[in-house]
Structure 1
Amino acid sequence: MPTRTEMLAFIEAKLAYEIDAVAAAGAQASGSAVIIDSRKQQSWDHGHITGALHLPADALDTLPDTLPHDRCLIIYGWGPGCNGATNTAHRLLAADFDVRELIGGYEYWVRNGFAIEMAGTISYPEPDPLVTAETH
């Protein structure tokens, strides 16, 4: 059984590493972060976070030279059941980028009602009242 100190250290590390959709949207809007989609092409085409860069986890043999080192990279996958974002985050952290992982991934971005893009069209899904009481 972990000690209280070990559990607190784990929680502190988790809070330092993960970011929720509201904070990620704010970081993107302020320009302090770039959002990275780690999903496959078909998923990206189905819809993605507006303004995100596409860097599929299954295509990480080389990293694009255009990834910024001066801003935080917020990585996302489909949702809580997907570890593609974790794999991409691992690769980017090992390459010395500042990385955070989006809690809940694309699913919770959509459920919060933030901007998504599909086939060049930007839309704002209706926020899920179980996720947020805010409207966007």
Structure 2
Amino acid sequence: MKVLLQRCKNASVTVDGKVTGSIDHGYLLLVGITTTDTEKEISYLVDKITGLRLFEDSDGKMNHSITESGGSILSVSQFTLYADTRKGRRPSFIDAARPEVAKPLWELFNHQLRDKGFVVETGVFGAMMDVTFTNDGPVTIMLEA
């Protein structure tokens, strides 16, 4: 499982001209599920994401977690995080989980974040989405389990 975490001032996702998720400050999470992922990887990354200290304190140091900052989460399924570009010019997505496996795991990931008390907005699994956000910092971190 890979999650590209981007600390943001705001973020939204639109599908077919309709906003499906929107947050003020917090995290935009691009979530990739691979063929071997289980609930174990999800739980690990949920704990990691919610515990990371990426928000600034009064001294300008990254000392506060998303919990302490009162941030929200926008979660977007992103199978292209598993693109293999080592050969040729067209990426292979063989390591990305099939939709029937990936969708329930992505939904479980979002559910676990909500169980920790976060507002979690989402994109639409498998849809063509327009994602807009203002990266804060910029702070962008790749997490992998």
**TM tier, smaller:** 0.3 to 0.5
Tell me which protein shows more strand as a share of its residues: 2
- With a CA cutoff of 8 Å and minimum separation of 6, indicate the structure with the bigger relative contact order: 2
TM-score (norm 2): 0.38
Tell me which protein shows more helix as a share of its residues: 1
TM-score (norm 1): 0.40
